[in-house]
Amino acid sequence: MKKTTTHNERSGSIERRQFIKAGTMLGLGSFLIPQSLFGRSPLAPEVAGDCLPTTDDILGPFYLAGAPNTTMVAAADEPGDRLFISGTVLSNDCSTPIPGALVEVWQANNSALYSTAPGLELRGSMTTDENGQYAFETIMPAPYLNGAQYRPRHIHYKVSRPGFPTLVTQLYFEGDEFIAADPWASQPDAAERIIPLNPIGGDQNEGVFDIVLDGFVGIKPNRYGDDGYMMPTYPNPSADLTSIHFNVFRNAQVKVVITNLDGRELVTLVDKQMSQGRFTTQWNGSDASANACAAGTYLATLIVAGKVILSQRVLRQ
């Protein structure tokens, strides 16, 4: 049987009365998905990141070791709007990925409850791949009362890897009305952990949360050399916007182009002088003449200083 409880973030005490209030509030149908920050143009702006270690946040009372090793943090029938979170765990140069980092996440459900046993719903752990990437599918957590005020929607993280300090933190979402009064989310150093969400159709949203640990993995970035890297596109396949995340490791002229499988260029998403950093662009499935491309397989290619770094497949539905 599913065992759940509400909690006080500091003490962990069960507060039934507060849960009832939270349920009433949710029944009003207020939902806090912000509008997409990205335009629909294929020439969407790139967003640069700052190179500072990700800041910590409180552990809260509901961390449990031994969360299921899964990227399906929410079962398919878990009530709530689906949420897809992905990101890269990076060294403190903000470009060297950290493979083999254990990412543990836990969150409240759509009724402001945390599971405590035995199925450990809405808890998951995963290990970053060779490119430092992690991703999981879940549902949007509900805000819940903590003392006299609501905590904003949040997902707890614990990121650990031998040789690095363990990071305990929380992820928040832009547009959440409860951030301003929350003693933790309103901290200036939490700003980088308040991410935009991008609607991807239906009641689904995606967000990217890259994590910088305060240490260095001590190996060269990856087999693609010193110039850049491009993550797998997301979502893939896609019927709407496809997000393309890439790293540039040195100042250079950078291009991101979409081609068909024969190498014919359909549209240029990025073509500019760029400095080192992490960037995101998006493709809306149209060619340079704004005509929608047919369903099928395309390639997103990163070119740095005239050199093709790598391509990632983009499946259009």
* Catalytic annotation, residues: 114, 144, 151, 154, 156
Both tokens of residue 198? 């991008």
Number of residues lying near Fe ion (CB under 5 A): 1
**Residue type present at position 69:** N
User: What are the CA-CA distances from residue 203 to residues 33, 82, 200 (Å)?
Assistant: 10, 6, 8
Smallest separation (angstroms) from Fe ion to the CB of 301: 41
Radius of gyration of the chain from its Cα atoms, rounded to whole angstroms: 20
Residue 141 touches Fe ion, criterion: CB under 5 A: no
Both tokens of residue 6? 């509400």
Both tokens of residue 300? 């997103």
Smallest separation (angstroms) from Fe ion to the CB of 32: 16
Between the two ends of the chain, the Cα-to-Cα distance in Å is 39
Indicate the DSSP class of residue 191.
G
Residue 157 vs 229, nearer CB to Fe ion: 157
- Per CB under 5 A, the segment of 15-23, 54-62, 192-200, 215-223 that binds Fe ion is 54-62
Residue 74 vs 256, nearer CB to Fe ion: 74
Residue 60 vs 124, nearer CB to Fe ion: 60
What whole-number distance in Å separates Cα of residue 98 and Cα of residue 95?
Answer: 9
Indicate the DSSP class of residue 49.
P
Indicate the DSSP class of residue 10.
T
Restricting to residues 228-267, name those near Fe ion by CB under 5 A.
none
Residue 173 vs 246, nearer CB to Fe ion: 173
- Per CB under 5 A, the segment of 52-60, 129-137, 177-185, 302-310 that binds Fe ion is 52-60
In the set 6, 15, 38, 60, which binds Fe ion (CB under 5 A)? 60
Indicate the DSSP class of residue 69.
B
Q: Which residues bind Fe ion (CB under 5 A)?
A: 60
